[in-house]
Structure 1
């Protein structure tokens, strides 16, 4: 197929001169290549590699050159993706996926010192047209509010062994998502040393590198405040889980079971165990020294009818999502429109209904743009700051 004459063709630049490279430069080259691998996250690199394989396959199937690719070739590729459908007749490639594929094509060219064929006006205008044609409202997970969360937690078997072990873990995870407004990937990545006990605030959590802050330079401290009651106290949930976690550091199954069962039966959800009442002589189940470890906070568990073992490996973000589905079902709730992100959006909605300002919510959830908070507000709390409530109806 011939290229369109009106579009400037792309040519590979002349080969760069090859200097005499000594041993030190060889080492520096290895360092530079290692640094290059950290410019993108592992997930992004995998997505770009998949996108490039798809583009390369399209080009080979139509007798086109993938490198250097002509903008017209890329336009045909976008058009091809736009007409692909799955077995249900739905578009196989969303607009977001198409943009990701183009980013992969662009990255492959730029890494080789070639011009980016996806930046041509003919390509970008085609994508804009497709976005307008398919314009639909994004499907957002519905928020879980405080009453919903308490209902889910109340349906768990906290006072039984071995069910109480996973109940303690899942309760801690749910409070991290709701009170801490953490994404599931952030919650899954936490370690014990990410937590810091605070006598006034409750617990400080250093989130570190996250989806929205991969360079790990922004403010990353999240606060889990003491609750007015033990059942609404996120620090209590963390204390309960970490206390059980510490008991798992033994190879003696009999001693482990006895210690864990003693922990489970020693206190219930109606008792503060976080030390919030330390002025009256109370003390938390754990101390700062118990958190001096890089081990994962939320661990995978193995449970049968008689025993529950806590693994050394951390739980995954996908497992947290599956956990919420299971717990909602057990509580008699339909999890269809919900996900772990419902806890984060629930933080926004509940806080706004209780009078929190946009700045306060942005600080808690580490959002950079007020518009993001406003989206949650409009979708799930439309009566807030709405003149309709001032019509005197």
Structure 2
């Protein structure tokens, strides 16, 4: 794939198989992981020290492994193409023209060539994310990089190819942030904003697990010259416990991403946040629409554990199209509102400007 410049990309969408017209995008999952490894460093260290094998998921243990989510070695990754092919085939059976944005970027083992293989094998358009995940997944030598160096690398990932491949990114993110924000993460946010100005891509950010984190991120993106109207804030479900914070964030102009669809438990494995159900997510989205923020909402599942895949007893990538869209219809969402959330808003964000 030849290097792209701004004029080549303006008004287009960039998938792992090439540049396409925006009208070719169907209903879109804005935040997923198809081939990934988010195994926490301390879990990797324990596995090495104890010579642990990856957990075997069975009918007898799937509920408990899913509840613990991040604690069982092997549940936090999938690089098996056969599993991914099956999952994408199930998605396509539920929604023939579905699109997936894979935000697996540096730090959590992205596989751009693998995504291209899967896209070509299933016909599902896939969009690769650029940039860097949270500080704890980043090697120390890279943390010493300057903002300019990080910016150049992100621009290269969009224009030339990601991680020594010719597969180009179509969005910047998910830029990983912790709470409090680490120095490297601040630089990565600044670099994302600068790369956005240069490429015309949207940005997706993984905020720290604190209600003030998204607002700090908005301030950094704005002060670095980024376009907040093309900034997607991930994980609203686990970051804000009430509507007021969501409305306050929406007032900044950024995009609110409810991306825990399919997680039907109040228990959150990282901290004591009460997670909403799918019904509650839709109630929040309804309130945002009624207050004029419908154009600022996107949805997804953020699958990043095996036990959320259909192959291991989970809901899979098809859940929103198979179950949530019919639920939206039953709860009174109009066809226009549903189309706006799952198709119009993603198309606008994924089209380079």
Work out which of the two has the higher radius of gyration on C-alpha atoms and give 1 or 2. 1
TM-score over 0.5 (shorter chain): no
Higher strand share: 2
TM-score w.r.t. length of structure 1? 0.20
Higher helix share: 1
Higher relative contact order (CA 8 A, sep 6+): 2
TM-score w.r.t. length of structure 2? 0.22
